[in-house]
Amino acid sequence: MKKVLVINGPNLNLLGIREKNIYGEETLEDIARKMNAEAEKLNVDLSFVQSNHEGEIIDKIHESRGKIDVIIINPGAYTHYSIAIRDAIKAVEIPTIELHLSNIHAREEFRSKSVIAPVCVGQISGFGSAGYILALHAALMI
Report yes or no on whether pTM surpasses 0.85.
yes
To the nearest whole number, what is the mean pLDDT of the chain? 94
Q: Is 43 annotated as a binding residue?
A: no
Question: Is the pLDDT at 18 greater than 90, yes or no?
Answer: no
Angstrom distance (rounded) from CA 13 to CA 9: 8
Question: Is the pLDDT at 30 greater than 90, yes or no?
Answer: yes
Q: Is 74 annotated as a binding residue?
A: yes
**Ranges of H-type helices in the chain:** 20-23, 28-42, 54-64, 83-92, 130-141
Map out the domains of the chain with their CATH numbers: 2-141 (3.40.50.9100)
Choose among 70, 68, 69, 78: nearest CA to 100.
Answer: 78
Q: What is the pLDDT of residue 106?
A: 76
Catalytic site positions: 23, 100
Residues 68/139, Cβ–Cβ less than 8 Å: no
- Mean per-residue pLDDT for 5-31? 89
Q: What is the pLDDT of residue 121?
A: 98
Q: Is 87 annotated as a binding residue?
A: yes
Q: What is the pLDDT of residue 43?
A: 97
